[in-house]
Amino acid sequence: MKLLLENWREYLNEEESSVPIIHIPDVFHTGEMDISKKSQHSHEATALSVTTEEYIEDWQKIARIAGKVQHLHKDDGKFIDFHKISDMSPIYNWGIEEGYLEPSDTYEVSYYDDEMEDEMTMSFRSREEAELEALDYGEEIKVKKSFVPTEKMQSAIGTKINQAMVDDYITLLYSENISVDGVWWEDVLDVRKFSAPRGGITPSKISSWEAKIIR
């Protein structure tokens, strides 16, 4: 993982080429448009949670939500394509410069989850926390060079940040400072594993979208 703190502004000046962009002019949101009423457990943090039309019902099942469905349109709607990011360095560097991140060792414990039928990884900021989990699963602890959220980042996101979500959340914060509307995660559709394509429109960009209740 390379750190280029002295060059972060150079990356920001080339924002369109340094981060992958996906253009999506039409997205949909179920429920209130008032983000102040959002659950603190939302993976999109303070952003407005959206998806595309074909996944509306999937997300209603996953999130166990109901209510009016809003169609949001913006001709030049565009998002950072999170899963296409090949190098997080520009975003990490910006996060450090802005006081949202600091470098630190983190401690990972991986295990196979029978219910999810997949290997899961938990990441912790302290070895003590990792050791407690490792005892439960009988697994070894892996030490990883990483970045951890500062109090400033916790405050900006509005909730305690799970270490596994740091990359997602710092990318959301970063997106507010370049010419995009938020972040898009082209997640695999698997309702049983609480997964479907999703996006987050950052608070400052919500008003630039036309919203209409469709049902």
Q: What is the pLDDT of residues 88-105, one digit of tens each?
A: 999 999 999 999 999 999
Q: 109 and 71 in one domain? A: no
Q: 106 and 71 in one domain? A: no
Q: 168 and 75 in one domain? A: yes
Q: Of 144, 182, 153, nearest to 49 (Cα)? A: 182
Q: Which residue range forms the structural domain that includes residue 173?
A: 5-97+152-213
Q: What is the pLDDT of residue 200?
A: 97
Q: What is the pLDDT of residue 4?
A: 37
What strands lie across the sheet with 182-185, from one edge to the other? 21-23, 78-81, 182-185, 198-201, 48-50
pLDDT bucket at 110, cuts 50 / 70 / 90: confident
Q: What is the pLDDT of residue 116?
A: 62
pLDDT digits (tens, 9 = 90+) for 175-214: 999 999 999 999 999 999 899 999 999 999 999 999 999 9
Q: 116 and 85 in one domain? A: no
Q: 55 and 157 in one domain? A: yes
Q: 162 and 142 in one domain? A: no
Q: 50 and 124 in one domain? A: no
How much is the average pLDDT of 102-130? Answer: 80
Q: 203 and 125 in one domain? A: no
CATH of the domain at 33: 3.90.175
Tokens 């209510």, residue?
A: 67
Q: 35 and 10 in one domain? A: yes
Q: What is the pLDDT of residue 5?
A: 36
Q: 137 and 34 in one domain? A: no
CA 101 to chain centre: 15
Q: 125 and 163 in one domain? A: no
Give CA–CA dist 65/108, Å, rounded: 32
DSSP states of 179-207: TSSEEEE----BGGGTB--EEEE-GGGGG
Give CA–CA dist 109/28, Å, rounded: 36
Full-model pTM: 0.81
DSSP states of 158-186: TSPPPGGGHHHHHHHHHHTTTTSSEEEE-
Give the count of domains, the chain.
2
Q: What is the pLDDT of residue 18?
A: 77
Q: Which of 5-9, 65-69, 77-81, 174-178 has the lowest mean pLDDT?
A: 5-9
Q: Which of 85-99, 114-128, 146-160 has the lowest mean pLDDT?
A: 114-128
Q: 14 and 58 in one domain? A: yes
CA 104 to chain centre: 20
pLDDT digits (tens, 9 = 90+) for 18-60: 799 999 999 999 998 888 777 767 889 899 999 999 999 999 9
